[in-house]
Structure 1
Amino acid sequence: MKNELIQRTKQFALDCWQFCFKVPKSREYNAFVNQLIRSSSSVGANYRASQRAKSTADFINKLKIVEEEADESVYWLEIFEEILPTHSKEVLKLQKEGKELLAITVASINTAKRNQNRK
């Protein structure tokens, strides 16, 4: 599952980038594009970093960053859903993946916290 999530979070960043490439170029759109690219790529980078955590606390902290960045990505995708209805099918697919990654991350955090409390 670990390698699957590493690949899946990386693919999420790539898919968001592909979507952003199709967004019209303007000062207004570019601000949102930059935010989505930053947050979506941070999901994968921080998940990958979590796999090299030095302790359970470090692991949980890194996953909390993943949680925040995944949630932020979903937020920017919701904005794009409103301002680019012509791309709604692609945006909804990305939102679904972002929400799934968010749910997996939250479940992992909760499991790690339970295991930490048992020690």
Structure 2
Amino acid sequence: MEENNVFNDKIFNFEDRLVRFAGECIFFTRNLNKSFENEYYKNQLIRSSGSSSLNFGEAQGTISNKDFVFKVSLAVKELKESRNSLKIFDYIKEGDENIRILLLKEVEELIAIASKMIMNKK
């Protein structure tokens, strides 16, 4: 695995990490082979990774803990969908292997962080 990758730069702001994850998913999909299957899962990955960032952005503007938990829960749902799309690409060995591994590691960390935020608000 590459020692010099974008995820080596530590970002401590969760929203910024979500934005970076969504952007890196876009970069990953730009290099996929053109096929019906890849287009389908590529579009899913772009939507779900971006949606996780957008939902967390909305969570920051909520008034109650209940609303915050709901919005962050939506972000977790979208992150899990992103993870699933990445796992499919991993299973069929599509795209750059090193980048797939990095994205899968990052999405696991993002899910864990967001889930902890939810538990702390309950």
Normalised by the size of structure 2, how large is the TM-score?
0.87
RMSD: 1.2
Residues 1:104 and 2:113 aligned together: yes
CA shift digits 1:58-84 (9 cap, x unpaired): 000001101101111111111011112
The answer to whether the 8 A contact 1:32-1:76 is kept is yes
Which has the larger share of helix? 1
What letter is aligned with 1:19? Answer: F
| Structure 1 stretch displaced more, 25-34 or 102-111 | 25-34
Consecutive unaligned residues in structure 2, runs of 5 or more: 1-11
Greater radius of gyration (CA): 1
- 1:22/1:85 CA distance change after superposition, 3 Å: closer
Aligned to 2:62: 53
How high is the sequence identity, in percent, across the aligned residues? Answer: 34
Q: How does 1:80-95 map to 2 (within 5 A)?
A: 80-84=89-93, 87-95=96-104
Aligned to 1:76: 85
- 1:76/1:103 CA distance change after superposition, 3 Å: same
Residues 1:19 and 2:23 aligned together: no
Aligned to 2:17: 8
Q: Distance in 2 between matches of 1:95 and 1:43?
A: 15
Normalised by the size of structure 1, how large is the TM-score?
0.89
Higher relative contact order (CA 8 A, sep 6+): 2
Runs of 4+ in structure 1 displaced over 4 angstroms?
Answer: none
Consecutive unaligned residues in structure 1, runs of 5 or more: 114-119
What letter is aligned with 1:92? Answer: I
